[in-house]
Amino acid sequence: MTITRHSRRRLLGLALGGLAAPRAMFGGRRAMAQGNPETIVYVSNAGDPTISVMAMNRASGALDLIEKTAIPGTDKPSPTSMPMALSPDRRFLHAALRSEPFTAASFAIDKASGKLTHLGNAPLDASMAYATVDKTGRWLLCASYPGGKLTINPIDGQGRVAAPPNQVIADRPKAHCVLVDASNKHAYCSVLAQDIIMQLNFDPTKGMVSANTPAEIATKPGAGPRHMAFHPSGRFLFLITETTATIGSYAVDKANGTLKQLQFVDMMAPGYKGEIAAADLHVTPDGHFLYGSERKTNTLTGFRIDPAKGTLSPIGHWPTETTPRGFAIDPRGRFLLSVGLDSNQMMVYAIGKENGALKPVKQYPMGKMPNWIEFIDLR
């Protein structure tokens, strides 16, 4: 494993030297967007609360600010995060506000510019740490960390989240993530305080889940299962554990939706003895590499994925923004975008095609407490 270390000053120097100045002046008065954007990046800023809408150059990774859209529903910050979820047809975007009154704000996406038009807000049952839309676009599934529950809300024909929830699964303390598989028949929910992944059957006609057999799979006690990500093949599911900073690999039985543990690997550099708070993980679209973020050391850790076995081998550590609660990988797998909850910045990295190494390209200012990133291709 190679470990690349840079000081914060060195990281910024690499970033600023890696690319010519972008066309937009983020935070300035002369922000201009690409006239005919192909790829749009949405970043939720929990402290404002707003969504930054940016055009991305697919070749260079350069970003141009199109607009910064205010989130109606509250004047208060959305504490620690503001999860977002895209509809499968990329026509709608939903943002979950984590300050009272807890609501989901729904937006229509302009297919030419990527700009957002607010459609309405609907009450949510609690403060939500994670949100996703099922493959029909009819249901918003959310995991509530403080509320300890999994909820399913309908989405109407105009793309607006509706209330009340269709189903509430309670008594799941610190539920942190919920995913639906490609078949739209199975769902998984990580429950940090119970050290389990719930294995669920999903009925998209009714918008309801039921326990699979078995109903859950356990991690090690105290591991703190947090976020999950599927391999593009659907054959594997990966889990990041918050309190132990490990990545787990699971084989997915596509027929019945159950998981089988394959491996757990450490994220931290050898010999590290400090505090740990792992956060997010994502897989490249080609399925070759996986990355995880850790908030106490402000690092990203990379792994190579064995395509046949689903197991992981480490490839390196890289410094990133302060408190990297969230990051994302562009649809072509060329760039990784990492935001700092406490730096209010985003760093764009180029992903090495052969070795998966991350090279800083450029840093951009964001709104307050940026934490969640989504991509869409307009053309």
Where along the chain do its domains lie?
1-39+278-379
| pLDDT, tens digit (0-9, with 9 covering 90-100), for 99-135 | 999 999 999 999 999 999 999 999 999 999 999 999 9
The mean pLDDT value for 152-177 works out to 98
In terms of pLDDT, which residue wins out, 318 or 17?
A: 318
Predicted TM-score (pTM) above 0.75: yes
Helix (H) or strand (E) holding 74: none
| pLDDT, tens digit (0-9, with 9 covering 90-100), for 327-351 | 999 999 999 999 999 999 999 999 9
Instruction: Give the E-state strand segments of 80-185 in sequence order.
Output: 84-86, 92-96, 103-109, 116-123, 130-133, 139-144, 149-154, 167-169, 175-180
**Identity of residue 191:** V
**How many angstroms separate the CA atoms of 192 and 227, rounded?**
9
What is the widest separation between alpha-carbon atoms in the chain? 57
How far does Cα 177 stand from its chain's mean position?
10
Please report the pLDDT score of residue 1 as a whole number: 37
**How many angstroms separate the CA atoms of 2 and 28, rounded?**
38
Q: Report whether 199 contacts 215 (CB < 8 A).
A: yes
The mean pLDDT value for 282-294 works out to 98
Instruction: Residue 37: count other Cβ atoms within 10 Å of its Cβ.
Output: 24
Q: What are the residues whose beta carbons fall under 8 Å from the beta carbon of 19, sequence distance 6 or more? A: 60, 61, 62, 361, 362
Determine the topology of domain 1-39+278-379 in CATH.
Answer: Methylamine Dehydrogenase; Chain H (2.130.10)
| pLDDT, tens digit (0-9, with 9 covering 90-100), for 209-249 | 999 999 999 999 999 999 999 999 999 999 999 999 999 99
**How many angstroms separate the CA atoms of 64 and 194, rounded?**
42
Which DSSP symbol is given to 161?
Answer: B
